[in-house]
Structure 1
Amino acid sequence: MSTKGKVIKCKAAIAWETDRPLCIEEVEVSPPRAHEVRIKIMATSVCPTDINTLNPKKKALFPVVLGHECAGIVESIGPGVTNFKPGDKVIPFFAPQCKKCKFCLSPLTNLCGKLRNFENPTIDQALMEDSTSRFTCKGKPIYHFMGVSSFSQYTVVSEANLAKIDDEANLERVCLIGCGFSSGYGAAINNAKVTPGSTCAVFGLGCVGLSAVIGCKIAGASRIIAVDINSEKFPKAKALGATDCLNPRDLNKPIQDVITELTGGGVDFSLDCAGTAQTLKAAMDCTMLRWGLCTVVGAKFDELTISTVNLIMGRSINGTFFGGWKSVDSVPNLVIDYKNKKFDLDILVTHALPFDKINEAIDLLNQGKSIRTILTF
């Protein structure tokens, strides 16, 4: 029986409030409206951003269906949608590309004009463009999350937040292209613009950091120093191209001093994929005076500060959003690159669980036991 135009009842994990486990509930998902697409989620994973949103300091909106790293199949389309049809394999993402605004038309940025809340990006796109939700549970409207809300068997997204991908794509792997892989890999390729023969340091070896290692390797870096306080991640980093692995807790001096000594003055490029004030300082200070570049990939929105002396002495800093990719244009190509074995996503997947065990997946990530856990319905 066709579900087009009808409300779908399905399973979702709802965050009702801060600092509480997610609750598996039955939700109602409304049909897509103009320029929207309803998707059946086939695979989703838990990203640290989902977990951080449960922190009271983040001032998130509740109740909410979290999740933003996923892949699925189009169930139905709303009026005006011409680029998708039921049955298409797709990847939604939090970085829209409307292709109409002055930002999308510029080669200088991948930040679409549909993004507005830069003070708290995790609540940006908490409602659809008409300021309403497509989710209801127990008679209450439920907020969307970052324009995706993948912790639901069905979700509704704007067509600007969606890319059609290869029909043969393995959705349980390419779902990582919806956030973690693209963010880290693109940071090295598009934002840092790592050069052949250069030296690099990557801070934080979660999915994003390991993907940055992949990017540095593919760009031709001659030395890649991987840094994390969890040494269990080092074998994966080395398998992906890291030449050195350092745990700051094992050292008797600041990590930036060790890296500076190892490289004869500092690395050409550093990528901070942890996003704390401490790692930002270390990432900045370990780059070469006169030309070193630090790229901020992960940000937990602490009070991040840098010394202006660093800038005066020739170091520079930049940031990245979704790895600098123009999402709608780039995501299908990244899927093809994975299909053609340009890079390995399989090594980033450490666990696979049924969706009902989503809180177990969260615990695995919090305990540093997983890189990415793939959840399927």
Structure 2
Amino acid sequence: MTTDNTISYEGKTITCKAAVAWEAGKPMSIEDVEVAPPKANEVRIKITHSSICHSDSHVLAGNTPNTKFPIILGHESAGIVESVGEGVTAFSPGDHVIPLFLPDCGKCMFCKSGKTNLCLGLTSTWGRGLMEDGTTRFTCKGQEIYHFMGVSTFSQYSVVSAYSVTKVDHEAPLDRVCLLGCCIPTGVGAVQNTAKVFKGATVAVFGCGALGLSVIQGAKMAEAGEIIALDINPGKFDKAREFGATRVMNPLDYKEKIEDVLKREYNGGVDFSFDTSGGNVGVMNSAFECTTNGWGLSVVISVAKAGDTVSTIPFNMIRGKSWTGCFYGGVKGSDLGEYVKNYMEGKLMIDEYVTRNITLDTINEGFDDLHAGKCIRQIIPMHE
């Protein structure tokens, strides 16, 4: 467990190591970067642990054309507050925290609605890789470096908005709860908050990576009757069973379309399906088509390439099928304390996601392993 031996550089610029993506489609390079002190309503965090997520890879590959480079990626992490800016009262140096790629301002129309976890608090600058004042806190080789999703956790220190961080229990191991920064709440929350899977339901999960395993875990927690894990990599099936899958299927083993197989074998279709395939719109279509008429619901979680579309005939909607999606599983930063509590009480699996620790110097190889399906989650201890 990380201890509170953080040195305060309050009011000073910190020079530290970070993985900088100078341009899309190229490997990141490990650089010395300068991290400015936090301004008003900002928090500077010593990032203790970060993990590699497919969303980072999606951006690095150039699949999000509005992303500005150079940029520091990373969004699934945990750390310790090093210093706070003017007006910040909710956080203090030494607090253990999880940075939030989805802000939670508590003040905007969305936050007050109680109907969504989306937040408008940082919309004017978040997507442009900037802080609220329209500037960055990172520089490298005399050049400004853009922020990623408001957090940029592939840096040993990062500055975030006070809306983009939440406190966690000091007793919780940061090298594990860092995974609550994205994949686990996204999958479990999609089951609990978006789909509201009922006891005894039939659930099909397309993709058995970390996100798919989180959906499987959520379905097991919801006491689903049948949890079908689908993937074209059978090497993932043992892990899927460990998380709660009652059946595994490789679509390549069937001559028919997999949606037709599922409809035939499950009395017209499954109750719920979830796409966690990594952005394959063909898989998204299959996930929708395999749901039952009347009440079948398919949830899109993974992110497709810009410009890709999904489609179906309108009569499917008339027959009662629904297609929806969710961002971060409908979870708000203020909900993460309950996730930590469940983990500490043995009610939520986290350790089982971790394949290995890697170093910041080998982060590009870590991305290669992720693409090759050789790992579930790799943790980077940022200060080793």
Report the alpha carbon displacement of residue 125 of structure 1 after superposing the two structures with TM.
5.5
For the residues of structure 2 that align with 1:95 and 1:321, how far apart are their CA atoms? Answer: 9
What are the residue-to-residue correspondences of 1:277-288 with 2, within 5 Å? 277-288=281-292
1:262 aligns with 2:265: yes
Letter in 1 for 2:181: G
Q: Report the counterpart of residue 378 of structure 2 in structure 1.
A: 373
1:341 aligns with 2:346: yes
1:317 aligns with 2:323: yes
Report the alpha carbon displacement of residue 304 of structure 1 after superposing the two structures with TM.
2.3
Letter in 1 for 2:156: Q
Q: Answer yes or no: is the 8 Å Cα contact 1:12–1:151 preserved in 2.
A: yes
What are the residue-to-residue correspondences of 1:168-317 with 2, within 5 Å? 168-274=171-277, 275-301=279-305, 302-317=308-323
Letter in 2 for 1:295: V
Q: TM-score, normalised by structure 1?
A: 0.96
1:127 aligns with 2:130: yes
1:6 aligns with 2:12: yes
For the residues of structure 2 that align with 1:337 and 1:330, how far apart are their CA atoms? Answer: 11
Please state whether the residue corresponding to 1:215 is helix, strand or coil.
helix
Letter in 2 for 1:287: T
**1:292-329 superposed Cα distances (whole Å, 9 cap, x missing partner):** 011111121422223322111110111111110122x1
Tell me which stretches of 4 or more aligned residues in structure 1 moved more than 4 Å.
Answer: none
1:35 aligns with 2:38: no
Deviates more, 1:27-36 or 1:306-315: 306-315
Letter in 2 for 1:254: K
**1:258-313 superposed Cα distances (whole Å, 9 cap, x missing partner):** 11122121110111112321111111111011110111111214222233221111
Aligned residue pairs total 372
Q: Answer yes or no: is the 8 Å Cα contact 2:41–2:162 preserved in 1.
A: yes
Q: Answer yes or no: is the 8 Å Cα contact 1:277–1:305 preserved in 2.
A: no
For the residues of structure 1 that align with 2:311 and 2:31, how far apart are their CA atoms? Answer: 42
1:78 aligns with 2:82: no
Report the alpha carbon displacement of residue 10 of structure 1 after superposing the two structures with TM.
0.2
Q: Which of residues 107, 117, 125 is equivalent to 2:114?
A: 107
Deviates more, 1:269-278 or 1:152-161: 269-278
1:68 aligns with 2:71: no
RMSD: 1.4
Please state whether the residue corresponding to 1:31 is helix, strand or coil.
coil
For the residues of structure 1 that align with 2:122 and 2:83, how far apart are their CA atoms? Answer: 25
Q: Report the counterpart of residue 157 of structure 2 in structure 1.
A: 154
Q: Answer yes or no: is the 8 Å Cα contact 2:42–2:84 preserved in 1.
A: yes
Q: Report the counterpart of residue 64 of structure 2 in structure 1.
A: 58
**1:155-208 superposed Cα distances (whole Å, 9 cap, x missing partner):** 000111100000011111111110111111100111010000110001111111
Letter in 2 for 1:365: L
Q: Answer yes or no: is the 8 Å Cα contact 2:47–2:157 preserved in 1.
A: yes
Q: Percent identity?
A: 50
Q: Answer yes or no: is the 8 Å Cα contact 2:8–2:83 preserved in 1.
A: no
For the residues of structure 2 that align with 1:96 and 1:54, how far apart are their CA atoms? Answer: 22
For the residues of structure 1 that align with 2:208 and 2:122, how far apart are their CA atoms? Answer: 28
Report the alpha carbon displacement of residue 55 of structure 1 after superposing the two structures with TM.
2.2
Q: Answer yes or no: is the 8 Å Cα contact 1:125–1:147 preserved in 2.
A: no
Q: Tell me, which stretches of 5 or more residues in structure 2 are unaligned?
A: 1-6
Letter in 2 for 1:20: K
For the residues of structure 2 that align with 1:323 and 1:130, how far apart are their CA atoms? Answer: 29
Q: TM-score, normalised by structure 2?
A: 0.94
For the residues of structure 2 that align with 1:38 and 1:227, how far apart are their CA atoms? Answer: 41
Please state whether the residue corresponding to 2:178 is helix, strand or coil.
helix
For the residues of structure 1 that align with 2:310 and 2:86, how far apart are their CA atoms? Answer: 44
Q: Which of residues 49, 53, 60 is equivalent to 1:47?
A: 53
For the residues of structure 1 that align with 2:122 and 2:256, how far apart are their CA atoms? Answer: 41
Please state whether the residue corresponding to 1:239 is helix, strand or coil.
helix
Q: Answer yes or no: is the 8 Å Cα contact 2:107–2:121 preserved in 1.
A: no
Please state whether the residue corresponding to 2:220 is helix, strand or coil.
helix
Letter in 2 for 1:137: C
**1:121-175 superposed Cα distances (whole Å, 9 cap, x missing partner):** 9x72611010100000000000000011000000000111100000011111111
Please state whether the residue corresponding to 1:104 is helix, strand or coil.
helix
For the residues of structure 2 that align with 1:94 and 1:375, how far apart are their CA atoms? Answer: 18
Report the alpha carbon displacement of residue 57 of structure 1 after superposing the two structures with TM.
3.9
Letter in 1 for 2:335: S
Letter in 2 for 1:128: M
For the residues of structure 1 that align with 2:312 and 2:345, how far apart are their CA atoms? Answer: 41
Please state whether the residue corresponding to 2:188 is helix, strand or coil.
helix
Please state whether the residue corresponding to 2:358 is helix, strand or coil.
strand
For the residues of structure 1 that align with 2:220 and 2:128, how far apart are their CA atoms? Answer: 34
CA 1:47–1:291 in structure 2 vs 1: closer, same or farther (change >3 Å)?
A: same
For the residues of structure 2 that align with 1:93 and 1:228, how far apart are their CA atoms? Answer: 29
